Amino acid sequence: MNDCESMGNARSRRARRCTATEEVVPDAIVVSDAEEKSSSEQSTTSDNDEKMKNIPSPPTSSSDGGGGGMEDEYGEMTNDGHTYVHPKPYILESGEVLHNSQLRYMTYGTLNTTRDNVLVVCHALSGNASLHSWWGDLLGDGLVFDTQQYFVVCCNILGSCYGSTGPNSIIPGTTNKKYGASFPDVTVRDNVRLQLHVLQDDLKIHSVKCVIGGSFGGMQVVEYSVQAGTTNGPFTTLNHHGHTVPFIRSVLPIACGATHNAWQIAMSEVQRQAIYADSKWNNGQPSMDDLPLKGLSVARQIAMVSYRTAHGYESKFARRLKDDKAQYGSKAKWQVKSYLEYQGKKFLTRFDPVTYVKMTEQMDSHDVGRNRGGPQTALSNVYIPALILGIDSDVLYPLYQQEELANFYPKGELRVIKSDAGHDAFLLEQKQVSDYVTNFLNTLRDDDDYLSDGGGVNYGEQKVPHSKL
């Protein structure tokens, strides 16, 4: 158990109730002891009491105004789950090759006999495969991710530190040498393609009803739609008539765009610069045994500002101080300062700076139109239903990007989450997210038998000739 697993809060207590849901997976995907041992060597969040020293208690405030109370968006974070090991050398978009590529994933609920009652949920930058830890209020019997109705799959990300191949993994053919900063550049496209192999090759899923995710998870959803939401891509399936149809039947990206634009790349870069400024970054050659944790702490603090809003910070903290010893200057103990320091130091218990650099670079790779004629052209061929959720107060991924995304999809629709919480509203406003997702899922067909008369594919009410797919 890593340090952060002991940091319980109200959200993680709610999430733990969902773990009682029986997790049913085909016998063929049960992970062998050898695989578990191999994947366990990749964990970045091993016990480290030193990281927990001097972490202050969370700041308190007499006001609990907008911004979701600034509560932590994640519960218990572990590297639990099953492990998929890709059977061949995995060729990345860059041409580099990863050997023994592994992805950690979790499943919830029961796969039906037709193997098509599947929901795939993609996690954000610092998330993991344990869906119950960060969207616990949406998972369980009778909830939006209803484990009595659906087989829910959540995959970790290639390059992450929660059980999948990443900077903390041992380089195949070496004796305990980690990739570290030499870990290859992985794109969102690489990551989604490997997840699709998990779904089709390992879990033997026939088709997926919907792929859902927010932020970095939303970027993966958009990429899923191009790779597996058309009949032209490499991931298709056959319907009950034996005709080729998309493997993915609908998508629901939240709080993201068709590309990671200059504003978002700038936000990523300033966080990376905070890590580079730490002397332990060592000009891009950090020791995995002595990492630039101070830089990562500052990077996380920058991120926490971008995830929320001015209104949220003012409502929660205003100009309040922890004591009256100094009302301004270097000795002033601002509550907002205490909050940011707490968040920065707490993050060290569950993430490392090399992984953070690599993961933010992967986010910056997001461009669904790269080498596909641009985003609009790439998405114009995706005729499956697409519901896009935006957040009216999101300063990191502004609403205009979701409006644009909805327009790019032939069957795209936009709905808006109303919140003062900013970007993190996709995690914090679980009631609104739940209502939108539930309503969307209820409008979708429960099978992939989309073939209509005349040789076209019928997604809902829109008939699309094969020649246009």
User: Which secondary structure element, helix H or strand E, spans residue 251, and what is its range?
Assistant: strand 251-254
Q: Residue 65 carries which side chain, given as an amino acid letter?
A: G
Query: Which one from 394, 420, 424, 448 is the annotated catalytic residue?
Result: 394
Query: Which one from 38, 215, 250, 268 is the annotated catalytic residue?
Result: 215
Give the separation between CA 31 and CA 35, rounded to whole angstroms: 6
Helix then strand then coil, in percent of the chain rounded to 5, is 40, 15, 45
Please, how many CA atoms are within 13 Å of residue 387, restricted to the half-sphere of its CB? 22
Where b means 16+ CB within 10 Å and e means fewer, 290-306 reads ebbbbbbbbbbbbbbbb
Query: CA triplet 358, 361, 363: central angle to 5 degrees?
Result: 115
Neighbours of 70 (CB within 10 A): 25
Q: Is 423 a residue of the active site?
A: yes
Question: For residue 409, what are the contacts with CB-CB under 8 A and spacing of at least 6?
Answer: 225, 379, 382, 386, 388
The encoded tokens of residue 449 equal 């038998």
The encoded tokens of residue 203 equal 């879990």
Question: For residue 163, what are the contacts with CB-CB under 8 A and spacing of at least 6?
Answer: 39, 40, 42, 43, 79, 80, 81, 83, 102, 104, 128, 129, 156
CB-neighbour burial class of residue 341 (10 A; exposed 0-12, middle 13-18, buried 19+):
middle
Return the biggest CA–CA distance within the chain. Answer: 79
Give the separation between CA 261 and CA 296, rounded to whole angstroms: 23
Query: Which one from 160, 338, 423, 424 is the annotated catalytic residue?
Result: 423
Q: Is 27 a residue of the active site?
A: no
Q: Is 243 a residue of the active site?
A: no
Mind telling me the catalytic residues?
Answer: 215, 394, 423
